[in-house]
Structure formats: structure tokens, C-alpha cells
Amino acid sequence: MKKLTRAEKSWILYDFANSSYGLIVMTVVLPIYYKNHLANGLPEALSTAEWGVANSIGGFLVAILAPLLGAVADAWRFKKVFLVIFLILGVVFTGMLSFLDTGMRFTALTIYVISLIGFSGSNVFYDSMLVDVTVKKRMDWISGLGYGWGYIGGALPFLMCIGLILVGTYMHTSLAMEKTSFIITAVWWAVFSIPLLMFVRQKYVVRGKHTFGQAMSNILNTFKQIRQYKNVLIFLGAYFLYIDGVDTIIRMAIPYGQEAGVTPRNMMISVLCLQFLAFPFALLYGRLGTKFGAKPMLYVAICVYAVITFCGYLMPGLSSITARQVTFYLLSFLIATSQGGIQALSRSFYSKLIPKEQAAQFFGFYNIFGKFATIIGPLMIALAGYTVGDSRYGILSIMFLFLFGGWLLTKVQAPAAEN
């Protein structure tokens, strides 16, 4: 295999850069900081519900903006421009999280939603620039390296933050150290984005009329074309359901674990272990997918996640704190076995279903489904918290996303490449 080009290395480094946000802000430190300090005194179920609503709002806004901005970016060579705009938005508002104090929960949620829009929006254009940095036969390899280095890029600053927080606990300055974590995240994200900004250029532009109306027309045409492929539509429906469950667990695991009585220290350690375990298991899923087919391995991953959600529902009912904390570790391990695999195999299976000559348009629709899939699950948990005051029922409802998604997947006819 030919050595990595400078553009390929620079593209991969952006995943290394922004994964710090996904782990520290979206998944671990901010959820703990929010529940312990910003929403202090609020019932646990209600604070979990508010966190779920914030994630749904951010996901919805990005899902609305992404297809339109993507069409404009393709037409006017604006991919990098939009990436920079969302990058700055994400970095600045991530840094602003360090200025929040106890009781400022609505301000915190607003700043978080804006930073989430920056993170998710920049990823839309980052993903789309893969075609600009490498050739088709190297795309799977380069994309996989991005995933792999992303796990490392999330774990390294997270280790720094854990160290600071543990030191702060003993020195009674943990609040200041948690705030420092957001500054570390913003700086890490900004610094390691520099190579992409310097060495990656957009090569491909959509031919034809470059107007706002044409951009809207391109979106409608893509929708009309994809409706002709029933197999693709069924898979997108299945993907929408089960990937919503996956994303919900990523975003809501820490608030839910804290509600169940798991200590912040144990949650941080379990998530750190998850980061290092997820990469080799993602590679294992890839090898098994090559041997047995992507669809059977997707069934395995969906079943694992169904077990995770059911056990998560039972966890708060366990009699002792120790039992709950051990269960949280076990659930983290199960997530590590399947998180990378279900994401990678979904993409590769979809690529076998679609016409190659229209791959860019069809993958644009795939990304839209993925963005909208960050809305339902967090809202289900929020609804359970608001109505019955117990997030367990929201977690149990997530299991049905996996079950219905798996059932829809059975209706998808596997392509010849799978047989």
C-alpha cells in the first residue's frame, strides 16, 4: 500500500482533533459537570431529560442545515469555508463552557447546543472532503484510519483531563479542573485542525447552474432518485432506527449512569477503557464482515445493543451501588465490542446497495438519515423523565429502536457482493 500523502494525513488528523469534543464534552465531563454543578438541586430524572432535549435540538438543527449547505458547498467550492465556520463556532463555544457556574443550566444548555452544531456541522464537510484527499480504491482504508486515530485523539486529552480532575479532587479544586477540561478540548481541537486547513483543498464541484435554487433542486432530485431503490430505502429506515439507539447511548450513558448512582470516577475509567477497546473490536468486525458478510454481523451488533439497553434498564434496580458500578463496567465493555463495528459495517453494507455512479448523492442522503437519527432517542429518555420521573423507561424504549431496526434489516435483500 502506497504511503499516506500529505493531504490524507491532514484529513485523518482532523478526526484526531475533534474526537476530543465527542468524548470530553458530549459524552463524559460536561454531562457530569452539568448534573453535579449546573443543575445542582434539580431531580436526577429531570436533569437527564433536559440533557436529552438539548441533544435532540442540536441534532435537529444540523439535520435541517446539512443538506442545504452541502449542496451549496458542492456547487460553489465552499466545503472548506463552511468547515472553517463550523469549526470556529464549535471551538469558541466549547471554550465558553469553562465560564459557567452553578445554577446556569439554561445558559449551559444553549452554549452546548451551539458547540454541538459546530461539531456536527464541521463533520458534515469533513466527511465530504474524503473524495478530495484520496482515490476511490483507498477510501475505505483512509476512512478506517480516521476512525482509528479518532479513538486515540479522544483518549489522549481525556487522560489529561482525568488526571487534572483526580488531582483536583484531592486538592478540593475539582470544579476548576473540570472547567479546564473544556479549554483543553477547545485548544486540542483547534491545533490539530491546522494541517487540514493548510493542506486540504476541495477538488470537485457540481457541474451546472450554481444558484441557491439549483442547490435546493439537487436535494429534491436526490430524494426522487433514491425512492426508485426500494432496497436502499428499507435499509435507510433500519439504519435510522438502530443508529439512533447507538447515538443515544453515546450521548446519554453518563447522565443515566449518574442517575443510577455510579460514581463519576468509575464512569470516566469505564469510558476510557471503552476508547482503547473499541478500535481493535472495530477491526475484528471488519474481518468477520469480510468472511461472513456485513448483514449477519450487523445482526450481531444489534443484538448486543438490545442486551445493553435491557441490562441498562435493570441496572438502577440493583440493590447495591457496587453491583450497579460493576454492571456499568460490563455494559461499557459490551458497547466497546460493537460501537465501531456497527458504524463501519453500516457504511460498507450501504455502499454495496447503491449504484456506484451515484454514490455521492446516495451517501449524502445516508448522512441526512444519520443526522436526524440523533433526535428520537434522547427525546424518548427526556419524555420518560418528564412524565414518570424515571429515565429507566426511556432506556427500555431504546431497545425497541434496535428490535424494529433489526426487523427492518431482515427485509433488505443482501447484494451479490454479500453472498
Q: Secondary structure of the chain in the HEC alphabet?
A: CCCCCHHHHHHHHHHHHHHHHHHHHHHHHHHHHHHHHHCCCCCHHHHHHHHHHHHHHHHHHHHHHHHHHHHHHHHHCCHHHHHHHHHHHHHHHHHHHHHCCCCCHHHHHHHHHHHHHHHHHHHHHHHHCHHHHCCHHHHHHHHHHHHHHHHHHHHHHHHHHHHHHHHHHHHCCHHHHHHHHHHHHHHHHHHCCHHHHHHCCCCCCCCCCCCHHHHHHHHHHHHHHHCCCHHHHHHHHHHHHHHHHHHHHHHHHHHHHHHCCCCHHHHHHHHHHHHHHHHHHHHHHHHHHHHHCHHHHHHHHHHHHHHHHHHHHHHHHCCCHHHHHHHHHHHHHHHHHHHHHHHHHHHHHHHHHCCHHHHHHHHHHHHHHHHHCCCHHHHHHHHHHHHCCCCHHHHHHHHHHHHHHHHHHHCCCCCHHHC
Give 354's pLDDT tier (boundaries 50, 70, 90): confident
Q: Is the pLDDT of residue 209 over 60?
A: no
For residue range 61-102, list pLDDT tens digits in order.
887 777 677 666 666 667 788 889 999 999 999 999 999 887
Average pLDDT on 29-44 reads 84
Q: Is the pLDDT of residue 158 over 60?
A: yes
Average pLDDT on 23-40 reads 87
Give 335's pLDDT tier (boundaries 50, 70, 90): very high
Average pLDDT on 383-395 reads 78
Average pLDDT on 127-139 reads 75
CB burial readout 213-226, b (16+ within 10 A) else e: eebeebbeebeeeb
Establish if 418 belongs to a structural domain: no
Helices (H), 315-353: 321-353
Q: Which residue has the higher pLDDT, 214 or 200?
A: 200
In the chain, count of helices (H) and strands (E)?
Answer: 17, 0
Model pTM score: 0.78
Which pLDDT does position 211 carry in this prediction? 54
Q: Is the pLDDT of residue 6 over 60?
A: yes
Establish if 216 belongs to a structural domain: yes
CATH number at residue 223: 1.20.1250.20
Average pLDDT on 184-193 reads 97
Q: Which residue has the higher pLDDT, 207 or 373?
A: 373
Establish if 419 belongs to a structural domain: no
Q: Is the pLDDT of residue 360 over 60?
A: no
Of the candidates 76, 57, 320, the one whose C-alpha atom is nearest the C-alpha of residue 208 is 76
Average pLDDT on 295-307 reads 94
Q: Which residue has the higher pLDDT, 409 or 69?
A: 409
Contacts of 326 (CB under 8 A, 6+ apart): none
The residue range of the domain holding 294 is 7-200+209-412
Establish if 263 belongs to a structural domain: yes
Which pLDDT does position 308 carry in this prediction? 95
Q: Which residue has the higher pLDDT, 415 or 353?
A: 353
Share of the chain above pLDDT 90, in %: 30
Q: CA 156 to CA 20: how far, in whole Å?
A: 8
Which pLDDT does position 216 carry in this prediction? 64
Q: Is the pLDDT of residue 238 over 90?
A: yes
Establish if 1 belongs to a structural domain: no
Contacts of 93 (CB under 8 A, 6+ apart): 111, 112, 114, 115, 118
Which pLDDT does position 113 carry in this prediction? 95
- Cβ distance 346 to 298 under 8 Å? yes
Q: Is the pLDDT of residue 212 over 70?
A: no
Give 294's pLDDT tier (boundaries 50, 70, 90): confident
Question: What cell was used for 139?
Answer: 477510501
Which pLDDT does position 157 carry in this prediction? 94
Total domain count for the chain? 1
Side chain identity at residue 204, one-letter code: Y
Which pLDDT does position 99 carry in this prediction? 92
Which pLDDT does position 181 carry in this prediction? 94
Which pLDDT does position 119 carry in this prediction? 93
In angstroms, how far is the first alpha carbon of the chain from the final one? 27
